[in-house]
Structure formats: C-alpha cells, structure tokens
Amino acid sequence: MNEKIVDLVKQRLTEIFEDYPHTPDIHELVEELKSDLIASAEDKVAEGKSEEDAVKESFAEFGEITELIDEVMHDDNDDSKENAHANDGHHIDINQSGIIVDGGEKLKIDKTGVYINNGKSFKADGTGVTIGEGRVFSADENGVKFGNMTIDGRGINFDQNKNKVHDTFSKFDEQFDHHVDTEIYVETLDLVNELLFDIDDIQRMDISYNSATVKILPTDGDKVIVREYMSRNNPDYYARTKTDGGTLIVAQGRYPKFLHLRVRIQILIPRSFAGDMRVSTISGNLQVNGISNVGTLKTTINSGNGYFNNISVANFSARSQSGKLRIENVKADDVLQLIAHSGTIKIDKVLGREFEIKAHSGSVRGDRLCGSGIIESHSGTVALSVDELTGDLNVESHSGAVKITMNMDNYKFDLQSKSGIVRAPENAIFNHDTGDFKDGHVGNDSKYTVKGKTASGVVKLY
C-alpha cells in the first residue's frame, strides 16, 4: 500500500469530518471512504498519475461526501439513543429495537425474533423454532420434527431410508444440453477480480455471498473460476477464499454499510467435478445452469429468487426464505428437495426418486414430473401433471385446491377433501365414491398410489 496516498486520503478526510460528532456510524463511514478512496487512487497511480493528482481525482469522482454524511447523521437522529459496548472483542448494540451482537452475526433479538449465528444455530420467529437449521429440531404450525421423528396432524412418523429404484430416466441424459453459454450479462459492471483453483484437490465447495447476484455455470476446463463484477473496485470487497481438508471455501468480502455497491458473481465449475456443492446467498438472485455429475447440490436463498436449469445430480436441494423457485429440466437420482417459505414454486420436467416439495405461503405448479414423495402447499394451489411414478405420491394443500393430471394408464388413487368436492377420472374403478372421498384405481396393472388431500378446497384428478 502506498503510504503517501494513505496519508493524503486520511488528511483530506480529517478535514471533511472535523466538524461532525464521532458516532459509531460516522467512524464506520470514514473507514469505508478511506478504503474506497485509497484503492481508487492507487489504480490511478498505476496509470502514471502522481499521488497528489490521483487522490484529488478520486475525491472528485466520488462526489459530494458531505451529502452522504448528512444522510448518515439523519439516520442517527431518527434512531433511539443507543448504548454500544465493546465486550471481550464483541460489539454489542442495545436500543429500543432490541439487542445486536457483532452486527447480528452472533446474536440478534428484535421484534422479528431471536437469531443465534445468523439463525443457523438457533432461530425463533413468527414461522417457528429451529435448531441447527432444522436438522436437530424444528417446530412450526405444520408440526414438530426432532431428528428423524416428525409429529404432525397425521401422527408420529419416522424417516426411513428407502431402497433406490432403477433409474427410469435414461432419456433425460440424452436430452441434456452440454452447450451452455458461460458468459454472464453484467450490465455496466467491470470485472474487478478473477480467481482460479485446481480441481484436483477439491472434493467439496462451500460458496456464500451476502449481497450479490450469483450465477453458476459449467466449464470444459480443469479449474474452478470465480469472477467478481462490481460497481466499485476495492480489494476489501473481493472474495475471501481458502482450501481446507478438500473443501474450497469462497465467501464474499467486506460489503460497505453506507456506500452503494452492486455485485455480480460468475462461478465456473469444471464438468469433471464430482464432489458436493453448497451455495448460499443472503440478498440477491441465484442462477444455476448446466451443472451435472455433482454428488449433492444444496442451495439456500434468504431473500431473492432461485433459477435452476439443465441440472443432473445425485441429490438436489433448493431452499428460499423469501422469493420464488423456478426449476426446469432437473434430475436428481435420489432426493429432490424444494422448500419455499414465502414464494411460489414452479417446476417443469423434474425427475427424482423421492420428492420433498413444500411451499408455506404460495402455490406449487409442475409439469412433466417423474418421481414419488411429498408435494404440498400450506396456503396455495397445487397443480401438477405427472408422467411417471417411481413410488407413492402424496399431494396436499392445507388451504387451496389440488389438481393432478396423470399422463399414465395404470395407477391407484386416494382423494379426499374436508371441506370441498372430489373428482376422479371417468374411467376410474372405485372402491369408495362419495362427494368428499374417492379411492380406487385406473388400469389393470396399477402399482403406485397418488394421494390428493386438502382441508379447504377441491381435489381434481384428471
């Protein structure tokens, strides 16, 4: 780092901020400006400018800093008086809104709920309570889950490992498009950082970005490529990476609190990679296209939409807290899990041995499905067309209609509605046939059962 540039920037910022109170937000703003302006000035020196001219131009290009200070001061005045303490290396903010430790990463308590370790260790909010992201314990209005035991309106159930069925989806591999465009549309953002990693030493990938649009694509090469496009070029904003025990970890760098920053990420994965991937985003859309040969692909989106296309993996999971999920041409040899808390799920040509597809607040719509398992919506319509069953299929809406089109000649059915009518195909052979309950079969060689159930709404089987 050029010490002369550092001194010139600090001197100029000192002059600008000398008449303002030294609040925590003002201090953070100074640090963000200093980092950004130093990086800009160093780029200009590399182009041949003097340190003095480089610093002068960097301040001029940034614009009116006092307006930004006034915005921060206005936010401070709107907030209630805070008590901020430093305790054993942790930053604790206590005000009328609640308690925040280390910016909410360690602990956050406010009117929305209680969160420990960003909700990963413990979360209690309006949706329920989870420990270990629901792997250890979860409780919500749908029931209670403790380990592999689930207690809900259907009683007590234990998840059991099921024998895998033979892959009946060989045509999918023939239709798989290996010619995927690996260029990303980045608007006017500049490529500021590119990282390359040898695939030989990587068995797992753990990718996390807090505020960015992330796109993951395949490459014919033998290296993982991470490309970062940003509206500001500052090394502090670059990804932090390391390889630990065969795991490649890519995490977003520092994100400014006050300065506006747009970030788009492109990650290219070698087609030969056969390990596992975990991808998480806090704010921003996630797009995954053309990924195959991977063991488990697990994605988590806190606030944003998820788009997944042309994927063939062993296990696939996509979770969205707030946003829609769009799944097209996706195959999972074993488990295919889609969970949307607040948003719709739309799927087309999805193949999986066992489905777990759930929308808490939103509809589930799917075409050309092959598989078995559970598909449900707590509040919304479930409308599906099914091409093939590999086991029993349970379709349920707590508050909404269930509509199933079976593109098959042989299957059993079990349909019921607590408050609504039930309709079955005209060619069905019935065991029971009432207004709100029908069961029986279609064809003479039925093996698996499709179950349709709703608490309030119609159930239609075509």
Q: What is the pLDDT along the chain (462 residues), one digit of tens a residue?
A: 789 999 999 999 999 988 788 888 888 899 999 999 999 999 999 999 999 999 999 998 888 898 788 778 776 555 534 444 444 456 677 766 678 787 667 788 977 789 887 777 888 887 788 887 776 788 876 678 776 677 765 566 655 433 433 344 444 445 445 455 554 444 468 999 999 999 998 999 999 999 999 999 999 999 999 999 999 999 999 999 999 999 999 999 999 999 999 999 999 999 999 999 999 999 999 999 999 999 999 999 999 999 999 999 999 999 999 999 999 999 999 999 999 999 999 999 999 999 999 999 999 999 999 999 999 999 999 999 999 999 999 999 999 999 999 999 999 999 999 989 999 999 999 999 999 999 999 999 999 999 999 998 999 999
Q: How many CB atoms are closer than 10 A to CB 150? A: 17
Torsion of CA 230, 233, 237, 242, to 10 degrees: 90
Contacts of 35 by beta carbon, 8 Å cutoff, 6+ apart: 234, 236
Q: What 3-state class would DSSP assign to 176?
A: coil
This prediction has a pTM of: 0.73
Residues 306-338 as b or e (16 or more Cβ within 10 Å = b): bbbbbbbbbbbbbbbbebbbbbbbbbbbebbbb
The two structure tokens encoding residue 6: 């550092």
Q: What 3-state class would DSSP assign to 59?
A: helix
Q: What is the pLDDT of residues 194-245, one digit of tens each?
A: 999 999 989 999 999 999 999 999 999 999 999 999 999 999 999 999 999 9
- Residues 461 and 417: beta-carbon distance below 8 Å: no
Which segments within 177-324 are labelled E, that is strand? 190-198, 204-211, 213-219, 223-230, 240-244, 247-251, 263-270, 276-283, 286-289, 292-303, 306-322
Q: What is the pLDDT of residues 100-129, one digit of tens each?
A: 787 667 788 977 789 887 777 888 887 788
Closest residue by Cα to residue 328 from 340, 343, 320, 316:
316
Measured between alpha carbons, how far is residue 144 from residues 53, 89, 121, 140 in Å? 64, 37, 17, 7
- Report the alpha-carbon distance of residue 41 to residue 51 in Å, rounded: 7
